[in-house]
A and B are shown apart, each in its own frame.
Chain A
Amino acid sequence: MNSQKFTSPILEARNLNIYYGTKKVVKNLNMKIGKQTVTSLIGPSGCGKSTMLRSFNRMNDFIDSFHYEGEVLFEGSDIYRSKIDVTEFRRRIGMVFQKPNPFSSSIAKNITWGPKINGYVGDLNELVEKSLRRAALWDEVKDKLNDSGLALSGGQQQRLCIARAVAMDPEVILMDEPCSALDPASTLAIEDLIHDLKKEYTIVIVTHNMQQAARVSEYTAFMYNGDLIEYGPTSKLFASPDEKLTRDYIVGRFG
């Protein structure tokens, strides 16, 4: 079932149970994410993909009814129990949300704000250019860096959010259905970007689009109803899944 045995995973969930109130939405889940891999989380709506993703940078903490059992390890140390500074590892694990959410401030400030509050001492102008180039947005916005981030199109906004995450020099980037609010052209642009980014970062991406999972990721995990049903190399999972449930989902029998 869980075929991935990375020897030094960058992220790992151990016997993780997540509850919202009394409702259990992640069930005794074990999963290792390898360094510098792109991993897709797929599964029907409501199966716990976003919840699982948010547990990797503790964004579930903001949900009042959230509680958990088990461990989540980032480079071997438990981000929930040990005394690491929450804000410090959130710098090292970036996140891109389903709906583009740039700040209303200028494009440049969207990039520089995070590094600034985290004590960045390098050249901020350089960082703006580098990050926007990294997110394939520089040419489109270089003449309007002082315009509001909200003045951009949806696809540009999402690339700005990726640039904002990249500017923090993270090790991991978590993406929750980053293309679901975008048109096909912007979706392609972002998929290209993910291809490009995977040379430097570990990427975990939630998607309900199986073609997308097949296109961008090396590993795919299929979740169903809070369980991790199957997790393996993307080509294997799509071509010859071990579980009947996975096969049924992939051929579109439900979901």
Chain B
Amino acid sequence: MNPVESPASAAKPNLFQNKRTLRLVKERVFFGIIFASTLLALGFLFYLLFSIFHQGWDHLSVDFFTNFPSRFPAKAGFKSAIYGTVWLGGLTLIFSVFFGVGAALYLQEMSPRNRFTSWIEISISTLAGVPSIIYGMLGLGIFVRFLDLGRSVLAGALTLSLLIIPVIIIASREALKSVPDSVRMASYALGASKWQTVRDHVLPSAIPGVATGVILSMARAMGEAAPLILLGALTYVAFIPGSPMDSFTAMPIQIFNWASRPQEAFHDLASTGIIVLLGFLMICNSAAIFIRSRWGKRL
């Protein structure tokens, strides 16, 4: 029998009103709106990049990397700022990975589920949203004055570490959470202790996520000027820090300093500094992507 001619389907009323045209129009309008907003954002970004490269490109020379800052725009360079940022970055990385990943491991893998733990968790999410300048004030009070570290690289790195540790904790916990429980059970069933399980199976599986969180928050810390200025980091430094106790400047501080000078030539130097800082951050981001894909394949 031909199903099309069956009496049942012939008698069936049509309960579906397609409204095809209207749906199509709605889709087009919605698509148009989101496309326009993407274009607008990209437009601003390109305008910003264009004006920075336009102003700063001419000063991008070897001298810019090897000269210390100077009263004369033609002789001024970025050397002390670059070295300062590298010092800050190295120390901040050590502190924030040690304490951030450590805290995440404790909270995610070890801590008992109780009120105290959930209070800590809430505090950490709150801290992740505190403006960086507040951390600057904290650093000034604790590290510079109370612990008497002065305006040193060490004080700066500790302050920036405080700033990013909450974010690293949150990112690392997410990474640990995504390691399936079946891995932990396999390990425990072999007679492993909690620490052996975490060290050899859970943490290695979580490395891509942890590393991504660490690198992205490091990039944020290296772009911060406000907390360092509050600490009293110097804006004119004609030497390279030789120890963690030396005073320092950093790329965003030097850029801020140049941008706030009246002479036009210094504004161009600020743009050159921004180009270098952007390059530095892009390298960080690429490293994050690289680590992610490398480890992703292994797992």
Number of residues from A at the complex interface, CB < 8 A? 27
Give the CA-CA distance A62 to B182 in the complex, in Å: 12
CB pair B196 A117 closer than 8 Å: yes
Contact of A57 among B184, B187, B189, B201 (CB under 8 A): B189
CB pair B298 A104 closer than 8 Å: yes
Contact of B200 among A57, A59, A90, A113 (CB under 8 A): A113
Tell me if A114 counts as interface (CB < 8 A to partner B): yes
Residue on B with the closest CB to A150? B299
Give the CA-CA distance A99 to B185 in the complex, in Å: 11
Tell me if A168 counts as interface (CB < 8 A to partner B): yes
Tell me if B205 counts as interface (CB < 8 A to partner A): yes
Give the CA-CA distance A94 to B299 in the complex, in Å: 25
Instruction: Produce 1/0 per residue, B177-189, CB < 8 A to A.
Output: 0001011111111
Residue on A with the closest CB to B200? A113
Instruction: Produce 1/0 per residue, B195-216, CB < 8 A to A.
Output: 0100011001100000000000
CB pair A94 B189 closer than 8 Å: yes
Q: Which residues of B contact A148 (CB under 8 A)?
A: 298-299
Q: Which residues of B contact A95 (CB under 8 A)?
A: 189
* Residues A59 and B189 in contact in the complex (CB < 8 Å), given A104-B298, A104-B299: yes
CB pair B191 A97 closer than 8 Å: no
CB pair B113 A91 closer than 8 Å: no
Number of residues from B at the complex interface, CB < 8 A? 21
CB pair A117 B191 closer than 8 Å: yes
Tell me if B192 counts as interface (CB < 8 A to partner A): yes
CB pair A117 B192 closer than 8 Å: yes
Tell me if B190 counts as interface (CB < 8 A to partner A): yes
Tell me if B193 counts as interface (CB < 8 A to partner A): yes
Instruction: Produce 1/0 per residue, B25-51, CB < 8 A to A.
Output: 000000000000000000000000000
CB pair B190 A164 closer than 8 Å: yes
* Residues A97 and B185 in contact in the complex (CB < 8 Å), given A87-B193, A150-B299: yes
Tell me if A126 counts as interface (CB < 8 A to partner B): no
Give the CA-CA distance A87 to B180 in the complex, in Å: 21
Contact of B182 among A57, A90, A99 (CB under 8 A): A99
CB pair A161 B298 closer than 8 Å: no
Question: Chain B: interface secondary structure?
Answer: helix
Give the CA-CA distance A67 to B254 in the complex, in Å: 62
Q: Which residues of B contact A64 (CB under 8 A)?
A: 113
Tell me if A103 counts as interface (CB < 8 A to partner B): yes
Residue on A with the closest CB to B196? A117
CB pair A101 B182 closer than 8 Å: yes
CB pair B183 A101 closer than 8 Å: yes
CB pair B191 A88 closer than 8 Å: yes
Residue on A with the closest CB to B297? A148
Q: Which residues of B contact A161 (CB under 8 A)?
A: 186
Minimum CB–CB distance from B208 to chain A (whole Å) comes to 12
Instruction: Produce 1/0 per residue, A159-180, CB < 8 A to B.
Output: 0010011001000000000000
Minimum CB–CB distance from A99 to chain B (whole Å) comes to 6
Give the CA-CA distance A161 to B184 in the complex, in Å: 14
* Residues A168 and B200 in contact in the complex (CB < 8 Å), given A150-B299, A161-B186: no
Give the CA-CA distance A177 to B180 in the complex, in Å: 19
Instruction: Produce 1/0 per residue, B80-108, CB < 8 A to A.
Output: 00000000000000000000000000000
Kindly list the 5 A-B residue pairs having the minimum CB-CB distance in the complex, ordered from nearest: A114-B190, A101-B182, A91-B191, A90-B191, A95-B189
Residues of B within 8 A of A (CB): 113, 180, 182-193, 196, 200-201, 204-205, 298-299
User: Can you give 30 contacting A-B residue pairs, CB < 8 Å?
Assistant: A62-B184, A62-B188, A64-B113, A87-B193, A88-B191, A90-B191, A94-B189, A94-B190, A97-B185, A97-B189, A103-B183, A103-B186, A103-B187, A104-B205, A104-B299, A105-B204, A113-B190, A113-B200, A114-B192, A117-B191, A117-B192, A117-B196, A117-B200, A118-B191, A148-B298, A164-B186, A165-B189, A165-B190, A168-B190, A168-B191
A-B contacts besides A59-B188, A62-B188, A118-B190, 10 pairs, CB < 8 Å: A57-B189, A59-B189, A90-B191, A91-B190, A97-B182, A97-B186, A104-B299, A117-B191, A148-B299, A150-B299
